[in-house]
Structure 1
């Protein structure tokens, strides 16, 4: 009875949200016929003022009325808050109302709707709906698939954005590659790009989320009517543009570390190539105003190593203090104040570290006027960080005593002293010196420098080295160095050529013709370059309000990445695509099974394939083949982890052995079986797991019940109404009763058939039902 009451509560909340608050066009069942029904509830009193003292064409009261009308907000949703803000456009501004509506039951928020409206025209700009429904779960097959969601979206636009509906074009790629969720509601994300003639302007668009029931849960109109688009009479063809993009592409070697790799985490050499754009008429690269103009030096700090890496040792506090004083200059008024020692094992690398933290106080008599701090590796004596700071120590000099070049020389000298063993692998980042021009910038008190660590010419993404030099004294004011102790090959491995990498990357990117906005600045009636604007702004010579700005639309060809379910990188040695998380070999195209069309478990099998719980060989998933123990455990662990692989950190020299003698660390099932063992889903037994062994229904029932946390309960057979015809033939009757009672597994002519082996299709369906049942069992209690 309590369970039914709880379900009624959830149903009521869902009805309020998904029937009363959705626009008429949001219903899959009534796309052409508006339908709105009111549901009563406990309405809270609005906490916003009755009259808003603002001067816009659309008053707050009118904006609320429009919002309720456009997205059919029922009376049960009260206006919780309203705000008026300004959006900056390419050539002007617009006023915008933002409104929060809430629905409460017994004083608790159960749903909310947020709406943004143009305060001058009343146009709906944004809309989003949220329902507090923790038991939401996907049900397959979906009532509304993506193609039907597209029709619903068009109908919705006819209601709320009729002026823009005919100026957009559906983008079939956007959102199409998203993995279907294993828990929670299913949402189709759809985008409609703004069209200027036959050319898309992809920074203006309409985006919507439509759920699998056909309700529009989110809408966003990103549009700027003040943009003026140029007419381009002559432009490159798509093939010519692709040739220009290939010519200007600059692939770069980088060492990266997959963050959830199976086994020890070691650097992997990759080829990176970011997306960029070219002018559609000239073919020249287009530089964004946000692109960092700093360049990495072509030569390292030295042509060879200047010393050996420090040997392992255990240093005392006094030794750590001496190391800091030998490395850096502390102010004469610095008094040592405290120290602390800590040890830590980095989960991501498995590397253990131990450090001394030392602190000083800067004093003027009894008054504290600043502080200093340093961190020292207690196992090597290397100072990894240092800084000192004096309160209110603003230089009165109009110009610094040191020039930028002099400060750079001191920074390089300090790095050679602190990190001699990697001096031939550190490259200084050359900055735009104009930001330190003493004729333009006042009160330059320090210069900041950072260095890139390269091994065999490849950047190490995870290392960080930077330093700050006092502009008047030349001493180091701050220093931070993180050089990870990974092992690299002594000589550079043989990699594919840059040309081969570019060809490979061009299968990841597609070439798109679109418009790009370039910002223009006008000061005292004269145009100024963006670089000068930034320098004047940094120097305090001007304020943003002193400068008029507008934007020009430029026709460009740009590289657009594929919409993928996973983050990838290119292996520089093999040229293979690999998963950025696990390091496993992957592919740009999703594997598609050719042998499950029309199968009774097609959708569940597709889910298992999408999450790589089942493999596809030669285009076949083999649905009627008996599932193996390894495959079943992988399904279970992925299901319990919302489709994500378990994380298992191991250092390169980890001595941890595999728990089972027949599932080594190189096995594709290793992390899943180890995770299942840690969660007590399986037992160690005799030390063998038999990952290729076949699975029967009794074993699958036991796994599911243990995953639900009901295994102890299953031991009490007398609690269950067990009327299986074959109940006398097996022991685990309680487990079978639970999975059958929860409709995760079914009977066959009244029999459970415990010894019957389970097919891949049957396992896929059972684990999807397990997900749905677990969501129901985890509903919030009626009273909390």
Structure 2
């Protein structure tokens, strides 16, 4: 039963080791403001509601995909899509396959849908995309137009329609595409953190809405609409929710819920990590943070706390306990390999000595890699595979070992079977565990002392786990540990451990930040708990929501989705997601580094650009977060910039998320310029320029980012961005420059090209190749480059 209280410490089903960052750091970071949607999210069509009361109010609400007899024919479905997109050459697309139902998602989703596969042919090439139309109502559910061979409809800056005009177009399209929906039942979503538009590339607006059911936000009720800069719809997503909604009338009032939330709003000090670009390092600050379980919901009907699975939990049971020291403790293993790293034999021996590998599994793979969670750490990844699997998928055992110390960072024993192929467990036949809860606790404490450095001094453990997953086919024991430094929790530094019914380790995941003493040792709190609590209460509230539980797979079963009416803690300002209160000054502070973070926009324009000859271009730079005023509210437009400054400006203009996009694809990369280290503020931009082939460290090993940017150097960089550097080299001998100081120009071909294109002024008597470029001049050149898009034979900055 979903509302049975779990036996503390014990739960059924194998635990998928969850990211400790998402569960242990900041409750209102990972789970807050539950009504949210990304660009690819889908929207919902709400069914009716079932009045209910008591703790079993949602017990029968299950998503049951049913394929009913279609009321819309497949030909009508094809015509609906074509009529909705008449201007974007959909008339040239052929519907090559139309099928009833959606057979491409697990678990199966809403099935009363025509799935249309389109194909567009041009010469010997072709491409395709899909559409979905509700077979009962004729409402459009999905289409993303894709015409890679046609650039005629691309809209560059400045767009023909503004963002405000595009929003009205999106609303009008929703009414046309989904006439069964009312605009009054939709609420626009705040996407300020993720909707930063680049200056370069085709302009596109993305809008998201959440559906209101009985005036309350629906958990799956999302619609997303994409519109290009010409005002044409290019994408549409909507999802149909088949679960029933409970009554919108709560049994407890909002002020009662607020009082009940008080214990989980009990702020305490925590060392909070701020993650640097590329996940290569992190800084720390001391913050006032809620308890780790503060993302719990309150059932608005039963007045009970619910965890993420919908199970009833009791926060008063979530208490830290000391880790008692045992006879055996972790010791560092000295490596016998290169640079004193562990050899593969040492790493394998450590794992096989500490944990039990099933007899029918043989070592199948091992490799020395950079650790995904710490780019400065080398680890051994080791796998054991089942010798004679009973089906197409065999069992696996995996371990990750720190190659420097011998610490086991991760361990997992599982079956490599798609979860939807697992039979539904028979709870009645679940065998009892061979050990008791107390015996499991003793085993876990003994293991943590052996696996984790200084466990008894650094760790405390939770007496109950609010993140215990729902039932499965085997009784297991779950434990969670938190690291402390100077009596204060270290954010993100946690350990998850699972013992099987025999008391053997079946799952383990640990995070322990290095050099915490250096990073956090001197941090102090200058604000009191009461002051922080006042700021927190002013910025947060509890909101009545419909919240979805289930609808996903564990290792052993599919958890049926159901919807409950709950109170959820939310930020009044949704852009504060990911923020906590800095104990140094009592202000909200982000826990991430992102040039496009909300709340960091220009606000009022700097006073020193008013009336400036480049005011318009400078204002554009500020609106797109390419430039920012200093702490005194000034921009200093006539100050010379460095080469590094220009790299930062261009990178931000081309891709506002360039720091994040690089990190996931190149975690093993090393600095390529001799004078730009990973700690350099220009590192990310330099790597971005290298990836874009605008700079080549093989030709110029040193970047010299701190040197002033000259006009001649700027001309060379511009030719590389527009892919005219080879042409510039051909023009080097006879460029026909008319400047009085032409003999002082070294890169004559580049200067001739860039002045002919109007990016730099070619009408002045002297070019002044060694003249330093100011912030205002750089902004103007950048905007001239933006306006040049679509006028050359190749794309710019792409």
Q: TM-score, normalised by structure 1?
A: 0.68
Out of 105, 117, 133, which is 2:133 matched to? 117
Alignment CA distance shift 1:404-1:205 (3 Å): same
Q: SS at 1:351's partner residue?
A: strand
Deviation at 1:186, TM superposition (A): 2.1
Inter-CA distance 284–689: structure 2 relative to 1 (3 Å threshold): same
1:66 aligns with 2:66: no
Paired with 1:405 and 1:733, the residues of 2 have a C-alpha distance of 81
User: What SS is found at the alignment partner of 1:153?
Assistant: helix
Specify the alignment match of 2:627 in structure 1.
Answer: 614
2:441 to 385, 405, 408: 408
In 2, distance between residues paired with 1:722 and 1:291? 78
| Distance in 2 (alpha carbons) for counterparts of 1:391 and 1:177 | 35
Match status 1:488 vs 2:517: yes
- Does the aligned pair in 1 maintain the 2:578–2:591 contact within 8 Å? yes
Change (3 A) 1:233 1:773: same
Kept after mapping to 2: 8 A contact 1:682/1:703: no
Residue 96 in structure 1 maps to residue 113 in structure 2: yes
Match of 2:376 among 351, 358, 364: 351
Q: For residues 321-400 of structure 1, what are the structure 2 equivalents within 5 Å?
A: 323=350, 327-328=354-355, 343-344=368-369, 349=374, 351-353=376-378, 355=380, 379-382=404-407, 398-400=431-433
Which residue of 646, 661, 665 corresponds with 1:632?
A: 646
Task: Identify if the C-alpha distance between structure 1 residues 268 and 131 changes in structure 2 by more than 3 Å, giving closer, same or farther.
Answer: farther
Contact 2:409 2:509 in 1 (8 A): yes
Task: Give the match for residue 738 of structure 1.
Answer: 753
Instruction: For residue 456 of structure 1, report the CA deviation from its aligned partner.
Output: 4.0
Which residue in the other structure is 1:185 paired with? 202
Residues 428, 567 of structure 1: CA spacing in aligned structure 2 closer, same or farther, 3 A cutoff?
A: closer
Which structure 2 residue ranges, 5 or more long, are not aligned? Answer: 1-66, 337-341, 389-393, 418-424, 665-669
Cα distance change, pair 550–741 in 1 and its aligned pair in 2 (3 A): same
8 Å contact kept, 2:121–2:127: yes
Report the alpha carbon displacement of residue 181 of structure 1 after superposing the two structures with TM: 1.4
Change in CA separation of 1:613 and 1:544 when aligned onto 2, cut-off 3 Å: closer
Q: Distance in 1 between matches of 2:137 and 2:344?
A: 69
- Structure 1 pair 754/512, CA: closer, same or farther in 2 (3 Å)? farther
Deviation per residue, 1:495-551 (Å, 9 max, x gap): 3444444444557x56475542577xxxxxxxxxx9xx999x9999xx989xxx975
Where 1:68 maps in the other structure, the secondary structure is: helix
- The 3 A distance-change label for structure 1 pair 55 and 491 is same
For 1:405, what is the secondary structure of its paired residue? Answer: helix
> SS in structure 2 opposite 1:167?
helix
- The answer to whether the Cα contact below 8 Å between 1:638 and 1:644 also exists between their aligned partners in 2 is yes
Closer, same or farther: CA 746–285 of 1 in aligned 2, 3 Å = farther
In structure 2, how many angstroms separate the alpha carbons of the residues matched to 1:321 and 1:207? Answer: 49
Distance change >3 Å, CA 697–CA 426, structure 1 → 2: same
Cα distance in structure 2, aligned partners of 1:397 and 1:74 = 55
- 1:605 partnered with 2:618: yes
The SS at the match of 1:217 is strand
Please report how far the alpha carbon of residue 298 of structure 1 lies from its aligned counterpart in structure 2 after TM superposition: 0.7
Q: Deviations over 1:446-467 (max 9, x none)?
A: 5454544344455555556454
Residue of structure 2 in register with 1:590 after alignment:
601
The structure, 1 or 2, with the larger RCO (C-alpha pairs under 8 Å, 6+ apart) is 2
Question: Quick one: distance in 2 between partners of 1:389 and 1:213?
Answer: 51
Counterparts of residues 219-368 of structure 1 (less than 5 Å): 219-221=236-238, 227=245, 230=248, 236=254, 248-251=264-267, 253=270, 255-260=272-277, 265-266=282-283, 268-273=285-290, 289-290=309-310, 293=313, 297-302=319-324, 309-310=331-332, 312-314=334-336, 323=350, 327-328=354-355, 343-344=368-369, 349=374, 351-353=376-378, 355=380
CA distance in 2, matches of 1:511, 1:323: 49
Q: Distance in 2 between matches of 1:637 and 1:86?
A: 40
Q: Is the 8 A contact 2:155 2:230 kept in 1?
A: no
- For structure 1, the 5+ residue unaligned runs are 1-52, 364-368, 520-529, 650-654
Using the alignment, how far apart are the partners of 1:245 and 1:671 within structure 2? 42
Is 2:257–2:542's contact at 8 Å kept on the other side of the alignment?
Answer: no
Asked if structure 1 preserves the Cα contact closer than 8 Å seen for 2:326 and 2:446, the reply is: no
**Among 776, 787, 792, which residue is 1:761 paired with?**
776
Give, in angstroms, the shift of residue 590 of structure 1: 1.9
Displacement of 1:213 in angstroms is 1.0
Q: Distance in 1 between matches of 2:467 and 2:157?
A: 60
In the TM superposition, residue 410 of structure 1 has moved relative to its aligned partner by: 1.6
Across the aligned residues of Structure 1 and Structure 2, the Cα RMSD in angstroms comes to 5.7
Question: Cα distance, 1:106 vs. partner?
Answer: 1.7
| 1:418 counterpart (445, 451, 456) | 451
Equivalences for residues 444-523 of structure 1 within 5 A: 444=475, 447=477, 449-460=479-490, 463=493, 465-472=495-502, 474-476=503-505, 481=510, 483-488=512-517, 493-495=523-525, 496-505=527-536, 511=541, 514-517=544-547
8 Å contact kept, 1:334–1:361: yes
Contact 2:223 2:238 in 1 (8 A): yes
Contact 1:259 1:580 in 2 (8 A): no
1:245/1:597 CA distance change after superposition, 3 Å: farther
Identify which range, 394-403 or 187-196, moves more after superposition: 394-403
Distance 1:290 1:213, change over 3 A: farther
Contact 2:579-2:590 at 8 Å conserved across structures? yes
DSSP 3-state at the match of 1:411: helix
Take 2:189 and 2:122, find their aligned partners in 1: how far apart are those partners? 40
Query: Is contact 1:57-1:120 (8 Å) kept?
Result: yes
Which residue, 712, 717, 725 being the options, matches 1:703? 717
SS in 2 for 1:75: helix
Give the CA deviation at 1:739: 1.5
Deviates more, 1:760-769 or 1:493-502: 493-502
Number of aligned residue pairs: 683
**2 CA distance for matches of 1:300 and 1:168?**
51
Distance 1:99 1:341, change over 3 A: closer
Matched residue, 1:747? 762
In structure 2, what is the equivalent of residue 217 of structure 1? 234
C-alpha deviation, 1:230, in angstroms: 3.7
Give distance in 2, aligned partners of 1:557 and 1:500. 23
Whole-angstrom CA distance in 2 between matches of 1:108 and 1:324: 52
CA displacement at 1:214 relative to structure 2 = 0.8
- Contact between 1:611 and 1:643, CA under 8 Å: does it hold in 2? no
Q: CA separation in 2, counterparts of 1:436 and 1:637?
A: 43
Q: Which residue of 2 aligns with 1:18?
A: none
Report the secondary structure of 2:570's partner residue: strand
Q: What secondary structure is seen at the aligned counterpart in 2 of 1:151?
A: helix
User: Deviation string for 1:471-495 (max 9, x for gaps)?
Assistant: 34x4445656554543326968433
Q: 1:462 to 1:749 in 2, by over 3 A?
A: same
Give how far 1:215 is off: 0.9
Q: CA deviation at 1:125?
A: 3.2
**1:462–1:248 distance in 2 versus 1, CA, 3 Å:** closer
Instruction: Say if 2:570 is the partner of 1:559.
Output: yes
Following the alignment from structure 1 to structure 2, what is the Cα–Cα distance between the partners of residues 264 and 433?
Answer: 30
